[in-house]
Structure 1
């Protein structure tokens, strides 16, 4: 087995009989060394004391007066958010139960950072026996925003924060100039397109998020004389992402599903769809209602997928046996923020008695 994403906290967690993750003191301590809570030279005595006592006993109650004693407003807010997250996690009992409760409650009281950290640890758990670097790289999309380029026939997903850092500090220039060279290792910017030849290098570099993922589902070759040959890519990042999403649904909902990328939805009996991000949700709603969609907006659609339940009886009776169509879309800034929680709260599951 490969030890990828060591900072996810997976090694500090424990599994229960269901395979869900139990929080531990060591897992909570990881948050205390993050930049948001780490001590600074100017940290006041009250903050130093709070930090030290939480390191010693991460689950101990913290009275509001102790929090208000912190002199720095940002520190007070950061500790307050951490304590809200900690208490919600401990009350829920597992990372998965807490994650589900955040979205089923209808209102979210913790910042996106905590949600992404939960998702990373959960995905790390369900991929613990993974041996496919494409699948693990695709799984990064569940908790890290991606920048998308569709230039020169490629659809490449790159880690947004990594690319922005390189752009700011590595002399990268615009993303388009970078992609002109992206078919080979780029020492100057430390980014590569994941391929069979460099896939073994992914595991040790997984924390750097420095691999680009090719999201093309098909490759078209012009054979001259007007002949065009289209071939499905065996190593498509979309297929790898689909496998991760299948495991995500199974892990949380206990329902076996199959997911495969699509070029288009050609279904007069289209009954159900789920957007995997906010832009795809809006687009699929408009298409379903027959509203006109501007070409520029359609061009931001990265992919469609078809989801089928292995056991149709697990679906609502009125849609049992029907496919569920999924959409994945970048925003106007070419950033894709996949929201895996949408699959957990919007699938047409049969009501539990």
Structure 2
């Protein structure tokens, strides 16, 4: 058993009888420590009083007190935080609040959505996840920078980590890889996570500095499949199996879900018989085949048929997965 991502806020939440997460005052108060909300030397007395009040009682209605804050940016930041807080408290569980975020226009910043996704994945994975599953799960809330080597190996590194090293001029493994398009992985600064060195993940789980191979047949893709299976089961209460697929060779192709905007566009075009450019196809990173354990969990008109999934990088070689697509777009039978 390993703990991981300790700073994400997961340990500040409670669990209900179904294993879903319940928001606590301690968790809400922890969000006030974000740099956008933490007081600075220039903060006025009204802002200091507001922050202290919310720390002590984070569910208070403070609209009038926010209006008294002198700094315009600070007022705007508190308005965003309060809207996010209200979204969290609108449902009995964090899972319910998360799903509700995507049932209309998403009106909270991506950083909050990513944090919720991380916390929910931490709950889904529990304390028995493998290191590769935990690293694969990072791809669902942290964009990845993709490098394709000369031998066809597809490598994924955390995008923010790559940018940080690039700005500092301290290119390590993935920096050289991205600069030269196929450099030998030779430094320890950004190691490639494999089955034979997986234990290094646990002490570095919040550094986001481990590279994984997304080449077909590599264990990181299998780990991602297991994570997605558990994600679907936790939220939707249905059992599915997910495996990588080489191509869609199916005359009865009836359903698909893109795991990101790029893949969605390609799958939609292929399904409708439209032309897809060579450049678009070159960005496709992996196809998956999802099957329901119980056909009765699916819409009657497609019951028993596979659902095809795909992920793709964008023009800047970034992979930005949207795990909510798996929850909102599967062909589930209508609940009575």
The normalised TM-score by structure 1 is: 0.91
Residue deviations 1:138-165 (CA, integer Å, cap 9, x gap): 0001111111111222111111111111
Give the counterpart of 1:150 among 129, 148, 159. Answer: 148
| Structure 1 Cα separation of the partners of residues 288 and 88 of structure 2 | 32
Cα pair distance change 1:351/1:215, threshold 3 Å: same
- The structural deviation recorded for 1:171 is 3.2
Residue deviations 1:108-127 (CA, integer Å, cap 9, x gap): 22111111111110000111
Structure 2: unaligned runs, 5 residues or longer = none
Give the counterpart of 1:271 among 254, 257, 273. Answer: 254
Instruction: Give the match for residue 119 of structure 1.
Output: 117
Residue 282 of structure 1 pairs with residue 265 of structure 2: yes
Instruction: Give the match for residue 133 of structure 1.
Output: 131
Give the counterpart of 2:243 among 255, 260, 268. Answer: 260
Instruction: Report if aligned partners of 1:21, 1:96 keep a CA contact under 8 Å in 2.
Output: yes
| Structure 2 Cα separation of the partners of residues 25 and 170 of structure 1 | 42
| Structure 1 Cα separation of the partners of residues 71 and 142 of structure 2 | 29
- The structural deviation recorded for 1:196 is 2.6
- Which shifted more, 300-309 or 46-55? 46-55
The normalised TM-score by structure 2 is: 0.95
Residue deviations 1:213-242 (CA, integer Å, cap 9, x gap): 111113xxxxxxxxxxxxxx4x2x111111
Instruction: Report if aligned partners of 1:275, 1:327 keep a CA contact under 8 Å in 2.
Output: yes
Instruction: Report if aligned partners of 1:217, 1:239 keep a CA contact under 8 Å in 2.
Output: no
Instruction: Give the match for residue 4 of structure 2.
Output: 4
| Structure 1 Cα separation of the partners of residues 92 and 62 of structure 2 | 19
- The structural deviation recorded for 1:197 is 3.4
| Structure 2 Cα separation of the partners of residues 28 and 178 of structure 1 | 45
| Structure 1 Cα separation of the partners of residues 132 and 143 of structure 2 | 17
Matching of residues 122-201 of structure 1 within 5 Å:
122-152=120-150, 153-172=152-171, 176-177=178-179, 180-181=182-183, 183-184=185-186, 186-187=187-188, 190-201=189-200
Residue deviations 1:281-323 (CA, integer Å, cap 9, x gap): 1110001011111111100001010000000111000000000
Q: Give the superposed CA RMSD.
A: 1.5
Residue deviations 1:38-67 (CA, integer Å, cap 9, x gap): 12121222111111111111111112x211
- The structural deviation recorded for 1:179 is 6.2
- The structural deviation recorded for 1:170 is 3.5
Matching of residues 1-353 of structure 1 within 5 Å:
1-63=1-63, 65-104=64-103, 106-152=104-150, 153-172=152-171, 176-177=178-179, 180-181=182-183, 183-184=185-186, 186-187=187-188, 190-218=189-217, 233=218, 235=219, 237-353=220-336
- Which shifted more, 268-277 or 171-180? 171-180
Number of positions where the alignment pairs a residue of Structure 1 with one of Structure 2? 332
Instruction: Give the match for residue 223 of structure 1.
Output: none
